[in-house]
Amino acid sequence: MSHIEPSWGFVDSPEPRTEDTGRRPVELILPIALGSRLRKKWGEVRARSFENKGTVHVNDRAVTIQTSVSRLFRSSLRGDLILQREDIYNVRIDGRSVQFDLANGPGELETIVVRTRNREEAKVLVDALPTQVTRTYATENRERLLFLERINERTPHVRATWTIVTISTLVYIVMAVRGFGRISLSATVAAGSNFGPYTQAGQWWRLLTAVFIHAGFLHLFFNMLVLVQSGRVAERLFGMARFVVLYVFAGLTGSLASLLWHPGVNSVGASGAIFGVLGAIVAYLVRHGSVVPRALYLRHLRLAVAFIVYALPSGFRHQGIDNGAHLGGLLGGLMLGLLLAPPPDESTETRDQRTMSLGISAALACGLIGGMMWALGDLATRPDRQETMQFSKVIVQSSDLEKHAIADVNALKRYPTTAAGRTAVAGQIRGKLVPEWQRLYDSTETAQVPLDSAEWRTRKSLLTYYGDTLKLLELTANMIEANQLDDKVSIMLVETLVQKVDRERAEMLKRGATS
């Protein structure tokens, strides 16, 4: 099927055409996929499908798009679209996708989307297509370039974002090297995590240091990935100094909200501060939306809101995600971002306006942090919160003891061959290993926790895990002492108990109740 678009001439008062001036003859053929089922959302046109595969042929007279679609049990459906060069306007590129507007009637424009194999071919295609633009598009493009020029003059380099990424990465590398590739629960506390019992006992510096600590490589990688994407935008919009203030403030409000949410929390990671950065971007767009070019406004608002809307509910569905920090950081970033957001053209802001903005921001920051700390102090007298914090201390203190106990189990001689050897190994189990695990059991059993709380369920599971480990050690000692290491029934009992203990330990690791 072949379709030739008629030439409709100029639409929307086009800018003067310059494409034919000094250009070499064009002759280009590239493989492409033609976008179909187009939809416009948040100001951007997107194709839902690229099933139409074929080629685009560009010359000095026309642009021909030849495609075919495979159909089950039927021959492929072919189509040719021949477009006159004078009807093609507003060519733009997005990665390996190329879009342009086609004059589809007097005053009417239809968007065409094609996707090339890579970015390089997309650039080649753009260079071969007409350069003419409509007056509306040219105006929007000039506004966009002027806006970008102004914020780039304000912040030529995004040094603060990359400095934060570097510090966070170096902290993780040092902790991973010290832990031989693994970062334990006690290691995060020693490094400065926001550990509720210690932070609320006066170690308030943990509110900030926790922002630069991460519990694993993936935790670090995804946080830094989002920070690089959002931080560079926020730093350009606000300037380096204001961006640093926003990041630190959101980190503090996130850490404080985390303690209000759960007094015994052991929280690490930059996610609270990153939510604050996203909130600040939204705040900037809300305050200066009338002067931010529409395309940039819609794009960054869509990205920020989409991440927030996705990440917050996801945090409620998964264990180990500190949504208190996310909400606190988001609130802090939104509130301070509204006050600190400078206009794109700083010459429009008087000195008095700037001084007032900074003064109100400082008052708000001090008031919010002071209010959250007062609320923490008021809540700290509640018995249930005191029990929760005490239980968290028991878990952290038991972490190192359990690590040593597991190491002692792994170092145990597996198959003693003599009677004396069997007696020695059985004695080692009863004299050293059993007391170690018994201390873990006893310290957990005596810890007081609020009834039917998450801590109560964790305590119950820990007691089951420690109790089954004690049974396994006693059964193993009896087998060794009775020389039953080859007895199939005994072996089956031990293997069943080992599998049960492994499952229980995996569950405790998932909950963060052991390391």
Helix, strand, coil % (nearest 5) of the chain?
60, 15, 25
| DSSP output for 352-385 | HHHHHHHHHHHHHHHHHHHHHHHHHHHHTTSHHH
**pTM for this entry:** 0.81
User: 73 falls in which pLDDT band (50, 70, 90)?
Assistant: low
In this prediction, residues 438-442 reach a mean pLDDT of 95
Structure tokens at 293: 């070019």
Question: Alpha-carbon distance 453 to 442, whole Å?
Answer: 20
Are the C-beta atoms of 187 and 179 separated by less than 8 Å? Answer: yes
Residue 498 pLDDT > 60:
yes
Residue 273 pLDDT > 70:
yes
Question: Alpha-carbon distance 11 to 104, whole Å?
Answer: 10
Per-residue pLDDT tens over the stretch 362-383: 999 999 999 999 999 999 889 9
User: 314 falls in which pLDDT band (50, 70, 90)?
Assistant: confident
CA 12 to chain centre: 42
Strand ranges for 85-136 from DSSP E: 88-94, 97-105, 108-115
In this prediction, residues 142-160 reach a mean pLDDT of 90
Closest CA to 246 of 291, 200, 203, 283: 283
Residue 13 pLDDT > 60:
no
Sign, CA torsion 406/412/414/419: negative
Residue 8 pLDDT > 60:
no
pLDDT recorded at residue 26: 72
Please give the residue that has the higher pLDDT: either 235 or 501: 235
Gyration radius of the chain over CA positions: 32
pLDDT recorded at residue 128: 94
Structure tokens at 107: 């005053």
Least confident of 51-55, 129-133, 184-188, 510-514: 510-514
Active site residues: 271, 326
Residue 3 pLDDT > 60:
no
pLDDT recorded at residue 6: 44
Count other Cβ atoms within 10 Å, centred on residue 353. 12
Mean pLDDT (the chain) is 87
Beta bridge partners, 40, equal: 45
3-state secondary structure 406-441: HHHHHCCCCCCCCHHHHHHHHHHHHHHHHHHHHHHH
CA distance to 57, 196, 390, 399, 451, per residue, from 385 (Å): 71, 10, 9, 21, 12
Please give the residue that has the higher pLDDT: either 393 or 18: 393
Residue 387 pLDDT > 50:
yes
Residue 453 pLDDT > 80:
yes
Structure tokens at 152: 């780039």
Structure tokens at 308: 């927030």
In this prediction, residues 320-337 reach a mean pLDDT of 93
pLDDT recorded at residue 513: 65
Per-residue pLDDT tens over the stretch 164-197: 999 999 999 999 999 867 888 889 999 999 999 9
